[in-house]
Structure 1
Amino acid sequence: MIGHLAYATGSPCPTVVLDARRLSADEGALRRELTEVRRYLSEAGGSHVLKIALVRPSAHPLFDLDYRFVQALPDGPDRFDFRGSCGHSILSAVVSAERAGMLPALTPGGRVRVNVLNNGDSVVCEMEETGLNEVRFTVYFVQPVGIPLPELLLTAEPCTELVSDGVSRTVSLVSTGNPYTFVDARGLGIRDHTELFAAGDELFARMARLRVAAAGRLGWSPDGAFPKIAAILPEASGRIAARAVSVPGWHPTIALTGAVCLGAATRIPGTVAWRIAEEAGHADGPLGITTPGGRTVVTVATHEIGGQPSLTWVGVGRKHVTHQGSFVLEPLAHLQFEEIAQCLALSAASV
């Protein structure tokens, strides 16, 4: 079987992209196959690759690609979380799917429509620039019929009290793109973005425990990767500073889905994100997000459905992806389709 590695700038690690048609549909068998992939990558020096994308050409007439994300967990090669998605991995999957022949050549102005099987998201990836091994995208997370903003609240309330470290803390549990826990960093003893970005293991551990409390509130496994968590603060000129926890450490920027979810959360009155956006002086228009690794801009579009604002789409631009290479996954060589197997045999014979 052929694997592809691609890296989206700002992601914690590259994504390994696999052809879902060659893998088992049964989850137990799939877990065993993905365990072999992780062991093989680890032996080759790729133990840091914790994102897996499973892709296939979509049979749905509205989509070009079916995508399923798997978060590999660092506490063992057979440990995975299938619950959520990953925006950076979606882009890596698009670039790799072109290399695998699942998509036509990516060209500036072209669009690839992705069906996210994990959560039903519709994602449109528009190419801004293309090169030999690099592509720059604008990404749109689309709600085809719109979704009322209150329905994005995982607890049906804009703010939820969670007890962590013996203290009650106010958070907002919001889900679009991925489920997120948003907390005001000042409630964690952080005064400004300089302190937030410089904070180390102590703050990370507190946020990790708060994330576990959020998972418990939702009835989810505390050992998984979801919900994600981000601490946020108001900045000047309507911007928001954000720092997020990833797997297994601090996120170097913010997840693409995190930016999408944060942007949507600022539109829901009463949430932590809405209050901080108000304090920062953010008005209608694109939202600027400052992270330890740079800045990003999110555009949120809403319209009225049944008398209440509903999410239509969220867009993030200037996302850069590099295809890092393709390789034979030897433990899954028996899953290679015949044409590739023949080509590899001929290549080996000519050496």
Structure 2
Amino acid sequence: MPLQATRCVFMRGGTSKALMFHVGDLPSDREKWVDIFLAAMGSPDEYGRQLDGMGGGISSLSKVCVIGPPTHPEADVDFLFCQVSPDKASVDYAGNCGNMTSAIGPFAVDEGLVPHPDNGPMTVRIHNTNTKKIIHAHFQVSHGRAEVDGDFRIDGVSGSGSPIRLDFLNPGGARTRGILPSGKAAEMIETDGDASVEASLVDAANPSVFVRASDFGLSGAESPDEIERDAGLLDRLERIRRAASVRMGMSTDLAEAEVQASQPKIALLGSPAEAELLSGAVLQAADQDILCRMISMGRPHRAIPITGALCLAAACRIPGTIAAELVSGGRGNEIRIGHPSGVTLVDAEMRQTPDGVHIERATLYRTARRLFQGEVLYRG
């Protein structure tokens, strides 16, 4: 059977990479998308490497973005994020990806989807259809294209680029009933066969479950490899994640929570402490405000998912959460999150309302770059 071909662009956004499709280049029957995405990314791969496709064997390198005309009156484009499992025949549409969101504005400009200046600042209003939220992407345009070159650096990516500021507007309740889906800043989570553990269930940008690393005998400074070697720890964290999913109203039962593997994510938090980075450099306690080790699709993330970082920023601002207990205070409105690849700088603006806590916006900076354009070939 001859290989199939579909027009696409391959882009890096932050510390992730994804295939970028125009919605008009995909079948009108969305049920057919799953087979295309799996084949293009090389999933499922029993060896976990996706060598027969465009994936890279880990969740941050196994992603698809679908961009199309806006269906929201306050947006310029629609964006659907698709998380492709490296080792299973699974495509998850449950949540957004903050890293790849940084690529959507530049993609829209370079593809001629939005009016733009030849040179100067540009804002693209993005409607993420996974979460039904609006994100504003602010960046520079040069010679009619999204600017790539610059001196802004993000940990986890070699070199530098032109900064992209992402403002996630009203990010609370991205997948659930609100910023605190259970109505509590912290609560005890019970799982079969385990001692109960305190957790904060927070939904901003993407829902996350935050637990103290110390409750598992850890500091929060452990490397991803150390965490991955502890199968018992990962199994317990997964059971907590599933129980929290039900508590947050994201799943009706534990079986459904198991299938919905990408959401919510779960993270180990610690107070600032010296930590060796994946680069071999040492991150000093004074250069961070909180430590985070996040689990994505059952594996320790090599950096931190950006929507997870935004959710953590919101949690740090909410009194009574585990994050607010552990964070050292931050510099002004900025919170420096220490993760295995370095530091991610985030911001969150909170206000109290008669109905409770409201997060006005959550902000971070990324870079993005187009890597290739053409057609992706895959077995039909």
Say whether the fold is shared (TM-score over 0.5).
yes
1:135 and 1:332 mapped to 2: Cα distance? 36
Identity over aligned residues, as a percent?
23
Q: Looking at secondary structure, tell me which structure has more helix per residue.
A: 1
Matched, 1:4 2:9: yes
Q: CA deviation at 1:127?
A: 1.0
Of residues 271, 285, 293, the one that matches 2:333 is 285
Cα 1:330–1:192 change in 2 (3 A) is closer
* 1:73 to partner: Cα distance: 1.5
Does residue 1:127 correspond to 2:139, yes or no? yes
Counterpart in the other structure of 1:321:
368
Tell me if structure 2 keeps the 8 A contact 1:74–1:247: no
Q: Structure 1 residues 7, 195: closer, same or farther in 2, change over 3 A?
A: closer
Distance in structure 2 (CA, Å) of the matches to 1:291 and 1:145:
23
Q: Whole-Å Cα distance in 1 between the matches of residues 296 and 355 of structure 2?
A: 37
* Counterpart amino acid of residue 193 in structure 1: A
Tell me how far 1:168 sits from its aligned partner. 0.7
| 1:156 aligns with one of 169, 183, 186 | 183
Deviation at 1:35, TM superposition (A): 3.3
Which residue matches 1:301? 349
Match of 1:215, SS state, is: helix
The count of aligned residue pairs is: 325
Q: Give the match's secondary structure for 1:52.
A: strand
Deviations 1:253-306 (A, max 9, x none): 1111011100111122211112212xx245862111111101122111133544
Letter in 2 for 1:229: I
Whole-Å separation in 2 of the counterparts to 1:240 and 1:327: 42
Provide the rounded CA distance (Å) in 2 between the counterparts of 1:234 and 1:268.
17
Change in Cα spacing, 1:84 to 1:98, as seen in structure 2 (3 Å) is: same
In structure 2, what residue type is equivalent to 1:56? G
Q: Which amino acid is 2:33 matched to? A: L
The aligned amino acid for 2:20 is: V
TM-score (norm 2): 0.75
Deviations 1:104-141 (A, max 9, x none): 56855311110010111111111168237964211110
Go from structure 1 to structure 2 and tell me whether the alpha carbon gap of 1:45 and 1:114 turns closer, same or farther (over 3 Å shift).
Answer: closer
Query: For each residue in 1:173-201, what CA deviation from the matched residue of structure 2 results, as whole angstroms up to 9, or x when unmatched?
Result: 11111110101110111135257885442
Judging changes above 3 Å, is the alpha-carbon distance between structure 1 residues 196 and 160 closer, same or farther for their aligned structure 2 residues?
Answer: farther
Q: 1:135 to 1:55 in 2, by over 3 A?
A: farther
The answer for the alignment partner of 2:32 in structure 1 is 29
Residue 200 of structure 2 aligns with which residue? 172
* Aligned partner of 2:70 among 37, 58, 65: 58
Contact 2:63 2:83 in 1 (8 A): yes
Query: Deviation per CA, 1:2-26, whole angstroms, max 9, x where unpaired?
Result: 1111112333xx1111111232454
Unpaired segments of 5 or more residues in structure 1?
A: 334-351
Instruction: Classify the secondary structure of the residue corresponding to 1:151.
Output: coil
The runs of 4+ residues in structure 1 deviating greater than 6 Å are 144-147
Alpha-carbon contact 2:220-2:268 (below 8 Å) kept: no
C-alpha contact (below 8 Å) 1:17/1:92 kept by paired residues: no
Contact 2:172 2:205 survives alignment (8 Å):
no
CA RMSD of aligned residues (A): 3.2
Instruction: Please name the residue that 2:129 is paired with.
Output: 117
What secondary structure sits across from 1:94 in the alignment?
helix
5+ long unaligned stretches in structure 2 = 1-5, 44-49, 142-146, 151-160, 273-284
TM-score with structure 1 setting the length: 0.81
For the residue of structure 2 that corresponds to 1:141, the secondary structure is strand
